Amino acid sequence: MDCNKENNFILKLLLIFLFIGLLGAAKPVLFNGGSSPAKYLAKKESLKMIQEKDIERFMESELFGDSDLNMDSSLPFYSSDEIDRTINNIYKYDSIIAFFIATIPLLFFLPKALNNRYLHHLLILVFLWLFCQSLGAVLNEGKKYSEYAIFAHATRWGLPLVLWLGFCLRVRGKDISSNKSFINCMIICTSLTFLVHGWEAYNLNPPFQDLLYSTSSIFGFSLSESINFTILKIVGIMDLTLVFVILFYRNSKIFLWMAFWGLITALSRPLTIGFEAWPEFAMRIANCALPLGLFLFFKNQHQNHLEPELNTKKMEIICE
Per-residue pLDDT in tens (0 to 9) along the chain, 320 residues: 467 788 889 999 999 999 999 999 999 999 888 899 999 999 888 876 655 555 455 555 555 555 555 555 554 555 677 888 889 999 999 999 999 999 999 999 888 887 788 899 999 999 999 999 999 999 988 788 899 999 999 999 999 999 999 999 988 888 888 889 999 999 999 999 999 999 999 999 999 999 999 988 888 888 899 999 999 999 999 999 999 999 998 889 999 999 999 999 999 989 888 888 999 999 999 999 999 999 999 988 766 655 444 444 444 444 45
CA distances to 23, 128, 254 from 159, in Å: 14, 11, 19
Q: What is the pLDDT of residue 76?
A: 56
Q: What is the pLDDT of residue 6?
A: 85
Give the residue ranges of DSSP H helices in the chain. Answer: 3-31, 36-64, 80-107, 122-140, 149-152, 154-171, 180-202, 206-218, 225-248, 252-273, 278-283, 286-319
Gap between the Cα atoms of 294 and 285, Å rounded: 15
Residue of 246, 201, 248 lying closest to 228 (CA atoms): 201
Quickly list DSSP for 30-85.
HHSS--HHHHHHHHHHHHHHHHHHHHHHHHHHHHH--------TTSPP--HHHHHH
Residue 37: count other Cβ atoms within 10 Å of its Cβ: 21
Three-state DSSP state, 266: helix
Q: What's 142's DSSP letter? A: -
